[in-house]
């Protein structure tokens, strides 16, 4: 059975200047990074669909991304795959003293607090002077995810609504502010600011509901795509195309597609 060493050897061969793959040789950290993000989302999609055979394949694709970056780093003299493994093993041991040491934690919440405290110490030791409660939220994250992380960190120091009621109030307030901007002539900069506030509160609502924002949006996207494709199919059965119809007729097909799912 192939091992991780076999995968490393395959990657080294692909990147070889002596007969390697021209495409692989052209890649850089910057060009590969979007594929890394894409593969992570495909892993999440397979989990969401409970397609575990596909999950196996997608995890392999994600592992290849790690190997690809590590190979390029080794070629540049930065580090090798073994250093990546060593670093993550050291981090897991260091951040779980209740498992690999003498510390004790009584709950997952306590472990999260301990984890954050250890991360703060590591940042300070590395010379990071940012001691804000919001420190350590990567700017490369999707913005909805940054919103969630920022809210979670603020909540850990008590800056949070006690329940979902005020979140609904805030959401209504922000929606009314968007409505007011439209009524005032819909200045693009103001609209962007107010719609951003709506989205930020929506993330907060999902957090209070203990709903995964990404999963909820994936489900909404899948539902829309499924119903829209059914609309196209129903229209085709009637000998027409959606693009040739007015909105009222299209809405009728949407209602039919929706009704079929009940």
Each residue's pLDDT, cut to its tens digit, for the chain (262 residues) gives 999 999 999 999 999 999 999 999 999 999 999 999 999 989 988 998 899 999 999 999 999 999 999 999 999 999 999 999 999 999 999 888 888 888 787 777 778 777 777 777 777 777 777 778 888 888 878 889 899 999 999 998 899 999 999 999 999 999 999 999 999 987 899 999 999 999 999 999 999 999 999 889 989 999 999 999 999 999 999 999 999 999 999 999 999 999 998 8
Token output for 259: 């009704």
Domain boundary among 92, 117, 150: 92
177 domain residue, yes or no: no
80 domain residue, yes or no: yes
74 domain residue, yes or no: yes
| CA quadruple 56, 214, 163, 134: dihedral, nearest 10 | 90
Token output for 173: 């307030």
233 domain residue, yes or no: yes
178 domain residue, yes or no: no
Count of domains forming the chain = 3
166 domain residue, yes or no: no
For residue 15, count CB atoms less than 10 angstroms from its CB and return exposed for 0-12, middle for 13-18, buried for 19 or more.
middle
For the chain, the distance separating the N- and C-terminal CA atoms, rounded to the nearest angstrom, is 47
172 domain residue, yes or no: no
Asked whether residue 60 falls in the same domain as residue 124, the answer is: no
Print the SS3 string covering the chain. Answer: CCCHHHHHHHHHHHCCCCCCCHHHHHCCHHHHHHHHHHHHHHHHHHHHCCCHHHHHHHHHHHHHHHHHHHHHHHHCCCCCHHHHHHHHHHHHHHHCHHHHCCCCCCCHHHHHHHHHHHHHHHHHHCCCCCCCCCCCCCCCCCHHHHHHHHHHHHHHCCCCCCCCHHHHHHHHHHHHHHHHHHHCCCCHHHHHHHHHHHHHHHHHHHHHCCCCHHHHHHHHHHHHHHHHHHHHHHHHHCCCCHHHCCHHHHHHHHHHHHHHCC
Domain boundary among 111, 131, 151: 131
Asked whether residue 37 falls in the same domain as residue 84, the answer is: yes
Asked whether residue 232 falls in the same domain as residue 252, the answer is: yes
Cβ proximity of 229 and 237 under 8 Å: no
Provide the whole-model pTM: 0.66
Asked whether residue 51 falls in the same domain as residue 120, the answer is: no
In whole angstroms, how large is the CA radius of gyration of the chain? 25
Domain with 239, as residue range(s), is: 215-260
Asked whether residue 82 falls in the same domain as residue 25, the answer is: yes
Asked whether residue 8 falls in the same domain as residue 45, the answer is: yes
Asked whether residue 20 falls in the same domain as residue 88, the answer is: yes
Asked whether residue 19 falls in the same domain as residue 88, the answer is: yes
Domain boundary among 92, 122, 141: 92
Asked whether residue 25 falls in the same domain as residue 77, the answer is: yes
Asked whether residue 8 falls in the same domain as residue 68, the answer is: yes
Asked whether residue 38 falls in the same domain as residue 114, the answer is: no
Asked whether residue 84 falls in the same domain as residue 56, the answer is: yes
């Amino acid at each position: 059975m192939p091992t991780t060493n076999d995968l490393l050897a395959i990657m080294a061969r692909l990147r070889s200047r002596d007969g390697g793959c021209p495409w692989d040789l052209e890649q850089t950290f910057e060009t590969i990074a979007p594929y890394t993000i894409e593969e992570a989302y495909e892993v999440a999609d397979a989990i969401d669909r409970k397609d575990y055979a596909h999950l196996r394949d997608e995890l392999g694709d994600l592992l290849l991304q790690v190997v690809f970056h590590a190979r390029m780093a080794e070629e540049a003299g930065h580090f090798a795959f073994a250093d990546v493994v060593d670093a993550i093993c050291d981090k897991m041991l260091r951040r779980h003293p209740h498992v690999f040491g003498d510390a004790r934690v009584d709950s997952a919440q306590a472990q999260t607090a301990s984890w954050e405290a250890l991360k703060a110490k590591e940042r300070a030791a590395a010379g990071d002077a940012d001691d804000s409660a919001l420190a350590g939220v990567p700017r490369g994250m999707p913005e909805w995810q940054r919103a969630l992380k920022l809210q979670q960190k603020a909540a850990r120091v008590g800056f949070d609504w006690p329940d979902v009621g005020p979140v609904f109030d805030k959401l209504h307030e922000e929606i009314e502010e968007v409505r007011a901007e439209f009524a005032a002539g819909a200045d693009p900069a103001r609209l962007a600011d107010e719609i951003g506030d709506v989205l930020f509160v929506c993330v907060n609502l999902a957090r209070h509901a203990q709903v995964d924002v990404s999963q909820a949006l994936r489900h909404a996207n899948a539902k829309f795509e499924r119903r829209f494709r059914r609309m196209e199919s129903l229209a085709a059965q009637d000998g027409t195309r959606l693009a040739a119809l007015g909105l009222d007729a299209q809405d009728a097909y949407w209602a039919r597609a929706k009704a079929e799912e009940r």
